[in-house]
Amino acid sequence: MRVLYQLREAGFDAYLVGGGVRDLLLGREPKDFDVATNAHPDQVKDVFGRNCHLIGRRFRLAHVRAGRDIVEVATFRAIPRDDGGDHETDNGMILRDNVYGNIEEDALRRDFTVNALYYNIADFSVVDYGSGMADLRAGMLRLLGDPEVRFREDPVRMLRAVRFAAKLGFNIHRAAERLMPGMASLLREVPSARLFEECLKLFHGGQAVETFEKLRHYRLFDWLFPETERCLGEEEDHFPITFVVHGLANTDARILENKPVTPAFLFAVLLWEPVRRLAGFYVEREGLDETASLQRAGSEVLVRSLERVSIPKRYSLDMREIWQLQPRFEARSGKRPQRLLSHPRFRAAYDFMLLRAKAGEAEQELADWWTRFQASGEEEQRSMTQEPDGKGTSRKRRRRPRSTKKSAPVTE
């Protein structure tokens, strides 16, 4: 409110807009607040001085610090036009959008009607230039304008449609819904770094399982994680592969409980199926041991996945460790369990192994043993890691990563 009134006192129009207005009208607590104004970014900078930081090239924005919070302030955008202005497209896709306009033009170029609602502090009204209020009451996600044109302008709008539908419990309007499977391939034109950020929004919003199911339904998941999708299309021992769903359900539960979630664990879950399958191929066909096979398979799958979703190295290194630690859980004698327990990535690898057990990929007895081992004192831990003869040499045979019946590697 301070940002809105300060802009108004400086002689500019200023409105609360988008998700913040939508969520307040739905009785939800907004995650953040966005402001739209007729002030240009440099003018916003002049109003707020050192408390303002201008960001973005594709879409110039002002971040205004208000106490501990950041309020995003955007200048009204105009409908794209070929006039040599600061606007760039490629085959209908908007690459840069800094053509400024008025509030009516700004409303018409937003994605969904329920996101084109403006709260006006001048008279405390909600301004609706589309059918936003009606669609909000009907629980409908409707694109403003021609859905095909809007998806071509920015294919990420298909991902946003899925995310909002899962988050709000809304239906996607049929005019847009019927286009999405056929236009999913447009995602290949989106920078892979942007798709990484979109994946975090999709799966770290507390509705990861429902989002995942909708992405698969509209054939969008295939363009984000093609190797995983091919694995999920098969069965093992006449049972569907459930690991990804268990992993995403675990993520949802942690978010609900306000526990931390990490991108490394999320993407380790999303890419585990192709890694496991390829590792099984290297074990069976080339005679590599489990650790070497997982190391090689993980590297290859990660390299291919970067073409679609660019996972930063700081996360991919942690992902590889989570995968490569899995065979070490089988070694439960001598000092090996204690060494594994002290590994910096133990907790994430342990949680990952619990998911494997829940999905039937690892023995539940193994998961129970490690759960008990962590909670035990030193004396009981020594007892658990030694056989009756005191030598601690006997242990269960290591399990190899499962592969499909043909043991064929996953490739593009």
List active site positions.
32, 34, 111
Distance CA 62, CA 71 (A): 8
Count the residues in the chain. 412
Kindly provide the b/e burial profile for residues 275-292, where b requires at least 16 CB atoms within 10 angstroms of the residue's own CB.
Answer: bbbbbbbbbeeeebebbb
Distance CA 329, CA 365 (A): 12
For the residues of 225-257, what is the DSSP string, one character each? -HHHHHHHTSEETTEE--HHHHHHHHHHHHHHT
Cite the beta strand spans of 139-263 per DSSP E: 140-141, 171-172, 235-236, 239-240
Residue 87's CB is within 10 A of a number of other CB atoms, namely 18
Q: Which helix (H) or strand (E) holds 156?
A: helix 156-168
What's the Cα-to-Cα distance from 149 to each of 102, 108, 117, 314, 322, rounded to whole Å? 21, 13, 21, 37, 42
Which ranges of 311-388 does DSSP label H, i.e. alpha helix? 313-324, 336-341, 346-358, 364-375, 378-384
Distance CA 209, CA 243 (A): 12
Distance CA 318, CA 268 (A): 9
In this structure, are residues 113 and 130 in contact, taking their beta carbons and an 8 Å threshold?
yes
Q: Which helix (H) or strand (E) holds 128?
A: strand 125-128
Q: Which helix (H) or strand (E) holds 87?
A: strand 87-90
